[in-house]
Structure 1
Amino acid sequence: MANDAFERAGMYFDDLNRIRVLDDETSSQAAELKDCCQEFLGDIEDFQKIADSFISIFDTVSQEVEREKIKSIGGRNLLKSYAKQREAQQEQLRALIVEKKSELDRLTAQYTALSKLEAEQQDFMDQFILQK
């Protein structure tokens, strides 16, 4: 009877006759809920560790990708500079060819003129020798 009065007041006795605010069923459900929450928190912590490791791995990979990207950009720029150097060198060689052709034409004309002069002088010497 005393138990009924306590139960109506919202107080209960457990197996060890300690006074409780919750009945046995609610208390066991609360304990079970507490255990489930602890297990859930453990799972969340494990998930957080896994997520952190993935983030760390992705950061490392992204840094490696960035390094490779910079290397490839550098290589591409180096190739472009080689191409520009080659074009400049070709242009210099073309100018040198034009210069050498012009010198060849000048020297050929000079040779022709000198050959003609030599032939004339040779004819003059031949005529001079024949006259004597």
Structure 2
Amino acid sequence: MDEFNSSKPIYLQLADRINRLIVSKELKAGQKLQSVREMALSYNVNPNTIQRTYSELEREGVLETRRGQGSFVTEQEERLIQLRGKMKEEQIETFVQVMREMGFSSDEIVSGLRDHLLKMNKGDESVDRID
């Protein structure tokens, strides 16, 4: 299991991991998550940390808790679309900020990204064209 970064609370790091699993569809809409106890054992953290993670994700509308049944990924498609967009924007923002700090212009960032994607996609007919 990955180590946790000391600059951000563990419960938020776990929330980010769960969000990534949802966006990548490893966790699907309506799917039940592990119990608080099971998740705590999986990540080797205190159950209270997992409870806080689940509460945060529920507050954000990503998880739904069903009394006596557990926590489930929301089935609200619009909320999942919003989550996907938010996570994409956060990743792009971080990438652009780092590139700017290194002195790259917008044109250099765009052309570098285009070149990288073209190299990655070479020979993969299923990938959309890059204009």
Taking structure 1 as the reference length, the TM-score comes to 0.24
Q: Which has the higher contact order (CA 8 A, sep 6+)?
A: 2
Structure with the higher helix share, 1 or 2: 1
